[in-house]
Amino acid sequence: MEITEVRISFRNEEKLKAFASITFDDCFVVRGLKVINGSQGYFVSMPSRKRRDGTYQDIAHPINNEMRKRIEDKVLDAFENELNKMQSGQGSINKHQSNAEEDDFDVEEEAPEGAQ
């Protein structure tokens, strides 16, 4: 399974820096991944919902560390490339418009277990 597209939608918040959508094999999209500025740098958080007890549950996530690393590497590379384009004047913060469903996802404060 290959990641064939990554889309970045920037946010100007303290911790949440962007939403990302990834496409697998040009036929399956996962939206709502988040690029978070954590205490040890940027990391990717999987789409999640906040439970009634205040904890977070991933909606979609890789089941092994190899795939988690592949996803995180692709998303962070795309994030940095778009950020560089924006800073050099070649891109726009609105390049990829926000999707309403991305705004439904909550932001986790720290990296989930197994990340980084």
Domains of the chain: 3-46+54-91 (3.30.1120.40)
pLDDT at 89: 80
pLDDT at 109: 47
List, for residues 14-62, the tens digit of each pLDDT value: 999 999 999 999 999 999 999 999 999 999 999 999 999 999 999 999 9
DSSP structure class, residue 101: G
5: β partners: 23
List, for residues 54-97, the tens digit of each pLDDT value: 999 999 999 999 999 999 999 999 999 999 998 888 765 544 44
The answer to whether 83 touches 90, Cβ cutoff 8 Å, is: no
Instruction: Give the pTM.
Output: 0.76
DSSP structure class, residue 102: G
